Structure formats: C-alpha cells, structure tokens
Amino acid sequence: MTQDRLTVTTGAGAFSAYVARPSAVAKAPAVVVIQEIFGVNAVMRGVCDDLAAQGFLAVCPDLFWRIEPGIDITDQSEAEWKKAFELYNAFDVDSGVEDIAATIDLIRADPQCAGKVGAVGYCLGGLLAFLTATRTDSDASVSYYGVGIEKFLAEADRLTRPLMLHIAEEDQFVPKLAQGLIIDSLKNRTGVDIHTYPGRDHAFARKGGEHYEAKDAGLANDRTLAFFRAALG
C-alpha cells in the first residue's frame, strides 16, 4: 500500500484528498471515504488504509475546506468536540455532495482505477453517503449511522444503484422515530440493504471512540466489504 494526496479542483476552488493505493494490483475499484465531523483524521485515514489493504483504491476528501482546510482532530477532548460541532453547524450539505461528486470524477479517471467507484461515510458522512447515492453516479454507497437521513427521504426515488445502511439502534443522534422513518421508507426498495445493531450507540465502528464495539464494528465492516466486492467487482 502507498499513501499520497490528490488535489480536487472544482468551480468553487480546490481541496486536498488523502489517498491510499493498493500495491498488489495495477487496477482496482475505488471507494470515496466520507469523513465524520472531525475532518480527515487518523480514523478516516485508517479506513482508507484498510480498504487499500483489501484491494481498493481509497480516497478521503477534505469536505471542510470551505470553512477551514486541513481539519484533523479527534473525539478525545471537550475542546475538539466543540470545534467539531462548530464545523458541523457551519457545513453546507449541498456543497459537500458536490465536492464528493467531483472526487468521484477525479478518482474514476485515475490511472489505477478500474472504473467503478463506491462511497462509504460515517456520522455526517453517513448522511452524505445517502445523498451520494441519490445525487451522484456512485456505483454503490454505504452509510454508517447517518445523522439526518430522515430529512431527505423524499430523494429515495432517485436511488438506482446499491445502497447499504448500518443503523445503531441506540444512536443518541438518530432517535427511534427517525430510525423507523428511514427503515420504513427504504426497506422494500430494490438494491437497499439495511442492517440494525441492537444495543449499539452512535459511532460504534469508530476505533478508539467511547462507543466502539469491536464485534459489531467487525460485522458491519465485513458486510460493507462483501457489498463493495459484489457491487464494484
């Protein structure tokens, strides 16, 4: 595996993206990793590295670049949480999806990309992964504990490619009512695969986080890997 950075250029400006490249293959399907509210930090870079180790070309764009480029913080201090929520509240979802679309275009044209591109997102990124599925040409998308998806369910009619959702049943940021709306709206749609995790709180798959749970994180990640292998080839 090799690691580097790319520059994504849009009509609104340019931003950086972390890239992890698989070393064992000349061509590979790509996955856009969509950040949490802590920026392109060690956790997100680790997700990219893990995907590269499994044979995917992984890229994580800096979606906070319009607010403050280069955010790289953790969930380990009150000050960092405060900063993260300030960024979250200042973030424009529509612009974020446009930046993800630009990242998909760039990585699809990368010489190492085999052609297909998926997306996986966590927390804020989980919402953006859902919107990536409804608004972009991503070939397959995965949402981990997406916050606010219930507000955008009217877009579900735009879903034409595979989508997987991981829902934590005790998610403090996604109330039971919201979970029910999401599940009821999406469960019977072709190509949508929903998994719920009893007893799990938000960010149960974030390594090092307060609610990390290795067993269910591993289960969710195995499901995601199988999903991408089937959808992206």
Pairing mode, if any, of strands 113-122 and 140-144?
parallel
202 labelled catalytic: yes
Count of alpha carbons within 13 Å of 190, Cβ hemisphere only? 3
* Distance of alpha carbon 4 from alpha carbon 50, whole angstroms: 15
Residues 99, 202, 211, 216: which is the catalytic one?
202
> How many other CB atoms are there within 10 angstroms of residue 25's CB atom?
13
171 labelled catalytic: yes
In the chain, what is the straight-line distance between the N-terminal and C-terminal CA atoms, in Å? 19
**Could you tell me how far CA 14 lies from the centroid of its own chain?**
20
Residues 171, 201, 211, 216: which is the catalytic one?
171
Return phi, psi of residue 10, to 5°.
-130, 175
Catalytic residues: 171, 202
